[in-house]
Amino acid sequence: MLAGLLLIPIVSGAFWYSGSTVKLTDKDTLLLGGFVNSTGDPVFDGSLREALSISLAQSPLLNLISSEKVTETMRSRSIPTGTPITGDLAAKLCLQLGAIGFLTGTITKDDSTYLLKLSTFQCAPSKEIASVKTEAKGKGEVVHALGEAAAKLRTELGEDPASVKKLNLPLERATSSSLEAIKSFAEGRRLSREQGSLEAVPALKKAIGLDSKFALARSNLAVSYYNLNQNALAADSIRQAFELADRQTVRDRLHITTLYYDLGTGDVQKAIQSYKQWAELYPRDDIAKGNLSSEYFLIGDYEQAASLARQALRLDPGSVAWYENVATADIALMRLDDARYVLNLAFSRKLDDPAMHSCLYALGFLQGDTNVMRHEMEWSVGKAGGEDAMLALQADTEAYSGHVQKARELSRRAVETAQAANLSEPAAIWQGIAALRDAAYGKVQEARAEADKVLDISPNSRDAQTLAILVLARTGDLRRAQSMMDDLAAAHVSNTVVQSAWLPTIRAQASLVSEKPAQALALLETVKPYDRGQLIGNLSYSCMVPVYLRGEAYLSTKQGALALAEFQKLTESRGVVGNCWSGALAILGQARAQAMSGNKNAARNSYQRFFDLWKTADTDLHILKTARAEFAKLQ
C-alpha cells in the first residue's frame, strides 16, 4: 500500500518574519499564551495552544513555563483559570512569572483558507521581537501548518537551524492530525492539573478513540492510571505508546521510553539510565528529574529521591507531584518539619491532591497527633481515589495497635469504596495488604480467604498477585504459591522489583514455613539493595518485608544478635515503615532477640513496649498470648 506517501499534507502560503533583535538563550523562559480564534469553530480553542507547546518543546533552547505554574499564578491573582491568556494579560503574567517574553497566536478564516500568525513579545517593554505567518488550505492542514510555523519561529528566536532540522517531527505526527483528538487531549491534561488523574481519564480515552495512534494521549493515560494505583492498566497503556515510536518527538520519545522501562517492563536500572539521558539533553525539564526521583523510592534511596524532587520543584513550583515527592522523601528521612513545610507551601499555592493528604496523615501518625489523622479522614469522605486510600491507612493504624477486627472492617470499606469508584487495582491492593497483615498476626484462615478475594478483584494486577502469593506462602499453601509464583516470574521477566526483590522474598518466606531458615537467609541476601524500597504500586511507605523475614530467620537459627540488628532496622526506619504491621511486630522481634542473647533487662523493656502498644489489642490474638507467655518466663 502507498498510503504512507500521503501522510504529510501540502501547505500553501509563505512565511514572513519581523526583524528580531532579541535572541534567546537556554537560560531564558517564555510564557506560551493563547490563540485568538476568529474562525467561529470551537475545535481550535485549547487544541492549537496544546499542539504548539508540543511543537516548541522539541527545542533544547526554548524553555516554556509550565501550565501548572501559569495556573498557579492565575489563581494567586484571582483570575479564573479558563481565562484566555492573550494581549495585556499575557504581558502582566509574563512579568510575574519572570519570563523574558511571551508568545501568542491568532487564527482566522478566509473562505476555505486558514491564516495563522505566531507572535513573540518582550515582557518589558512589551514589543514584538519575532513573528511568523502562514496559511493552510483547509481545516485538515492546520496542524501541519502550525508545526511548520513553530519551526520557523524557533530559528527566528536564535536556535541553530541544524538543531531545528534535527529536532522537528511534523506536528501531526507528534500529536494527531485530528483537531478533535488534540482538543480532548488538552482537556485531559487540564483536568489532570486542576482536578486530578481520575477526572482526566475519560478525556484522554476519548482522544485515543478519535486517534488510536496518538502516542502522547496513551502515555498521559498511563501516568493517570499509575497515579490511581491502576498499575496493570498503566503498563498496557505505556506499552501501546512505546510501540508508536514514529509518532513521538525526541523529547517525548525519551519520556515515553523511560515510562516504558518504569511502568511497562519495570526495569529500574534502564529507567534510571534513560531519565538521566533525558535530563542531560533537556536540563531544565522538571519531569525528567521529578520522575527520576520516583525511581529512587523504588530502591529506597530517599536522599537521592529528595534531592531530585527538590530540583524538579525549583524548575516547576506549580507541579503538585513534586511537592508530594519531596514530602514523601522527607517523611522517610524523618525530616518531619521539612515535610510539613513543603506540604503547607503547596496548599498555600492552591494545590491539592489525595496523596498530599496521605502525607499529612503519615505526619500525624509519626507525631502521635490523632487530631491530624482524624481531620484527614474527614477530609477524604466522598472523594474518589482519596477515601479508599485513607480508609486503608486507618486500617493499618488500627492493626498497628492490635485492633485486628477494626482493621479488617476498615479494609473492607476501603475495598468497597475503591470498587465503587471503578478503581479495581487499588481495591485489590487494599485487600492484599489486609490479607498479609492477618497472615503476619497469625490469622491463617482469614488471610487465605482474603488472598482469594484479591485475585477475584483484580486478577491481572502484578502487585495484587504479589501480595496474594506472599500470603499463601506465609500461611503454608506452598504448592499454590509456587504455581502462581512461576506465572508471576514468567510474566515479568524484566521487572527489577519482581525478579530481584519479591520473588526471592516469597521464596524465603516459603523456606521459613518449610523450616529451612538458612536457605531463607541465602535468598534474602540478594534482596538487600531493595530492603527499604517502596515495592508495592506507588504507595508512599514500605513494610520492609525482606528485613522482617530476615529477622525471623535469624531467630530460627538462634542468632539473637543478628536478629536484633534486623528488627532494629525496622524500628529505626519509622519514616519508611510508617504504620505498617512490621513496625509493631519488630518491637516484639527485638524482645525475642534480646532474650535469646541473654539480655533479660533489655528484653523485658522491649516486651513492655510491645504490651503498651497493644494494651487495647483484640484479646484473641495468638501472637499476643504467646508474647505474654514468653514474658512470664523472663520474670
Whether residue 125 is preceded by a cis peptide bond, meaning omega within 30 degrees of 0, is yes
Three-point CA angle 432, 436, 438, nearest 5°: 115
Query: What residues in the chain have per-residue pLDDT under 50?
Result: 1-21
Report d(CA 339, CA 333) in Å as an integer.
10
Q: Which residues are 30's β-sheet partners?
A: 64, 101
**φ/ψ bin of 476: left (φ > 0), alpha (ψ from -120 to 50), beta (otherwise):** left
Domains and CATH numbers, the chain: 12-171 (3.40.50.10610), 175-267 (1.25.40.10), 413-530 (1.25.40), 542-635 (1.25.40.10)
Burial code (b: 16+ CB inside 10 Å, e: under 16) for 216-232 equals: bbbbbbbbbbbbbbbbb
Residues contacting residue 246 through CB under 8 Å, at least 6 positions apart: 173
Burial (CB count within 10 angstroms: exposed 0-12, middle 13-18, buried 19+), residue 399: buried
Q: In the numeric block, which cell numbers belong to residue 220? A: 498521559
Residue recorded with cell 517492563:
265
Record the pTM.
Answer: 0.82
Q: What are the Cα distances from residue 160, in Å, to 31, 75, 157?
A: 21, 37, 9
**How much is the pLDDT for 309?**
96
**How much is the pLDDT for 16?**
34
Report d(CA 470, CA 581) in Å as an integer.
15
Helix (H, G, I), strand (E, B) or coil at 394: helix
Residue recorded with cell 511497562:
264
Q: 129: part of which helix (H) or strand (E)? A: strand 128-137
Through-space distance between the first and last CA atoms of the chain, rounded to whole angstroms: 87
Task: Label the pairing between strands 30-37 and 101-110.
Answer: parallel
**How much is the pLDDT for 26?**
65
CB atoms < 10 A from the CB of 325, how many? 28
**How much is the pLDDT for 2?**
23
**How much is the pLDDT for 539?**
64
Task: Label the pairing between strands 101-110 and 113-122.
Answer: antiparallel
Q: Which residues are 425's β-sheet partners?
A: none
Residue 618 dihedral angles phi and psi, to the nearest 5°:
-55, 135
Residue 9 dihedral angles phi and psi, to the nearest 5°:
-70, 160
CB-based contact 580:401 (threshold 8 Å): no
Report d(CA 149, CA 23) in Å as an integer.
17
Q: In the numeric block, which cell numbers belong to residue 113? A: 483558507
Of 547, 540, 549, 558, the residue nearest 596 (C-alpha)? 558
CB-based contact 476:513 (threshold 8 Å): yes
